[in-house]
Amino acid sequence: MNKLDLSKKLIIGMVHCLPFPGTVKYEDDMKKIASQAIQDAITLEKAGVDAVIVENMGDDPFNEVLDNAQIVALASVSTLVAQKINIPIGIDAAMNDYETALSVAKVIDADFVRIPVFVDTVEYYGGIIEPCAREALLHRKKINAENVKIFADIQVKHTHMLLPTVSIEDSAKAAIDCGADAIIVTGTHIGKETPIEIIKRVKAMSSIPVLAGSGVKKENIREQLEIADGAIVGSSLKIDGIITNPVSYELTKELIDNFRSFQE
């Protein structure tokens, strides 16, 4: 395991896997899926990101949990990625399959998982998702994976809060109290900038790192990371922002260089 240093500002790149078997858009080519994921991870590392997250992004429309074919594919691709890079790895089993994410992370010796619905109750196009903090912590303990950190989204993109009166601070406090290792705040959808005001509000009361989880690009990374403790970057590293395109080394390097020059 390559230890993730939460004491510094982090740039985490997304490895968006193409559609897995058993999903609507699967094209019956596992070799292509694995090859693109591996190359994207290598490109991200070469360009200078601090870590990557492997996610079954192509599997939309998402179910709350993965089926057997998706689980096997995610485990297989994540294993291959882990063999090819030397930076920390996280797992995100979308939409909210904490059990699969933690299990894959344990098996491949990953550093962290992203859990989109940790303490909130939300509605999305697939129905209602209830919080899983207690179950996730129990599963992590059960499989002896307590060294795997939990990065918890609050009021996550692509969803609506069932109780809109719950403030972003309320969600952040719940995530902290329930044992999250870092908090992720996002805009409303992929590529939508995380509002600065939201980052400020969560950062002002949080005792754990706060990451911007959407809409970070070279033009706004300095502004975002003046406040946030890190950023998770995906679509802005693809040509034309198209999620299925391979990661662009040039776009990633520009973003990293812009951020590093700000740090100096």
* Mean pLDDT by groups of 10 residues along the chain of 264 residues: 84 98 97 98 98 98 98 98 98 98 98 98 96 98 98 94 96 98 88 89 98 93 94 95 96 94 69
Global pTM reads 0.96
DSSP state of 238: B
Angle (deg, nearest 10), helices 98-108 and 68-84: 30
Note the pLDDT of residue 236: 94
Note the pLDDT of residue 85: 98
Rounded alpha-carbon distances, angstroms, from residue 121 to 76, 99, 152, 165, 171: 31, 18, 13, 12, 10
Torsion of CA 76, 55, 48, 251, to 10 degrees: 120
Ordered by start, the domain boundaries in the chain are 10-263
CB atoms within 10 A of CB 230: 25
10-263 belongs to CATH 3.20.20.70 = yes
Note the pLDDT of residue 2: 56
Note the pLDDT of residue 150: 98
How far is 194 from 121, CA to CA, in rounded Å? 20
Note the pLDDT of residue 240: 93
Burial class for 250, CB neighbours closer than 10 Å (0-12, 13-18, 19+): exposed
How far is 87 from 101, CA to CA, in rounded Å? 18
